[in-house]
Structure 1
Amino acid sequence: MNSVATPGIGLAALCVVLVAAATAVYWGADLGSITVAPGAALRAVAQLSVVALVLAAALAHLWSSLLVLLVMFIAATLTAAGRAGAGVSGGWLTLAVGAGMAAVLPAMLVSGVVPMTGVAVVPVGGIILGGTMTATSLAARRSLDALTQRRGEVEAALSLGLTDRDARLEMIRSTAADALLPGVDQTRTVGLVTLPGAFVGVLVASGSAAQAAAVQILVLLGLMLAQACAVAVTTELVARGRVWRSGVISGARRRAGCGSR
């Protein structure tokens, strides 16, 4: 079996049925606008069609594959900043996403475990990047939410002599760490609850079960490291006031009248 989904009338019909069913559930359970599912489906089809055409050409060369990965990195950073609601300060999250990628992808390539070819670099790099983006956006959003909800505690800590950084860090450390739970849970339950994409992808490509397991283990462990690095950097950026949300600023910082401290 070379593919589980071959483009054609059957696939198109099934996709229409799935979207229609999702729309019906949205309407019946009053989960939101009935245009959500069709809109998301049309966007996915358009985006993946363009990506398929681009990748068909880009994966033929390493330099063009790295360019594709760079575009994906920029999109991931913008998405993380947007989800965190950090405004222009969200640009600092480039450091967090970059730290996660830098900790994992070069080691995979230099070791030779991941071949220095576009067809290998883009899929593996994309998976690591996607997980890193999610952890970064969750850590930033939850940290900023915690500072909003616990503003009084931050002020109290400042009055006791703590620095801005230490006062914020006391409020956000445990909250930001929650962003790592999805990745850790996925690693703990792999094979028991789910068969993630890398495993299924290798099997669909006619690889052996052992090869599929090896690739999936590599990806999961790489994700754990990348996400840990990203969350650590995100926490530090928020604690130092580099990433902030309008209104989520300590009294000391407001009095100083600066953009960051």
Structure 2
Amino acid sequence: MILIVPHDVLRPRRPDEHFAAEAAAARDIGCTVALVDHDTMATGDGADRATARVPAGADAVYRGWMLSSTAYAAFADALAARGTTLRTNSAGYRTAHELPGWYEMFAGVTPATVWTAGTDRSDFDRACRELGAGPAVLRDYTKSMKHYWDEAAFLPDVADRDAAWRVACRFAELREVVEGGFVLRRFERFVGTEVRTWWVDGTCRVVTAHPDTPAAPVPDEIDIPPLAPLVAALDLPFVTVDLALRDDGRWRVVELGDGQVSDWPAGMPVTVLVDLLARH
């Protein structure tokens, strides 16, 4: 396995500090580690230049900062031209990284969701009508602004179109680039903290705390089995599924993501993750 990580912005011959421990762990078990220029790749241009130091190899895994689906496709194409094959292809990355790619499969175990194509007000109003009156949470195809909960995430009642639109406008202002369009998810009340499950080849291999609450204990009883056929049906090599316990005692899918750009919780040994990827 070739592990590809972003380089340090100031010291390009070293891994980005956030991924340095993963890089060291990979080297310790004999994996090749290659560095790429994330900032150049993220622009969607210059992928050939950004990947110039990646050697040829049939099995490469990226562990780094998020890339848009378009930038990831350029990244994958640039590597393919060098004889390097990412374990997750560009279509698979889009499926996991963008909510519309995985929602239909998980509709029964995740909050009801509608979305727009772009940021047009009329399409936003259509989405509000489709979801129906009541509270909702706003995000785009790839990310929320949950740290700005009251001003750019929570919609007390989507039936109040003007108030909902003000939240959407603030979201767009803070987000700067809205990925895909607006996503409205029916608000559900959760208890406790989220947990992150790590799936390789359709099987849950590790359950961790969520990176936002790395010190939180992981509950002993998490209802994983009902998710297994859903994740397997995606036919993706490496994904994460974030779960939260609803106030009625049911575990719900909060988010699904590509495992390559999913953060690992601080305080948990990165050797667990690297060994997992190297073995499968």
> Shared topology, TM-score over 0.5?
no
Instruction: Compute the TM-score of the two structures, normalised by the length of structure 1.
Output: 0.24
Q: Which has the higher strand share?
A: 2
Q: If you compute each CA radius of gyration, which structure gives the higher value, 1 or 2?
A: 1
Instruction: Compute the TM-score of the two structures, normalised by the length of structure 2.
Output: 0.23
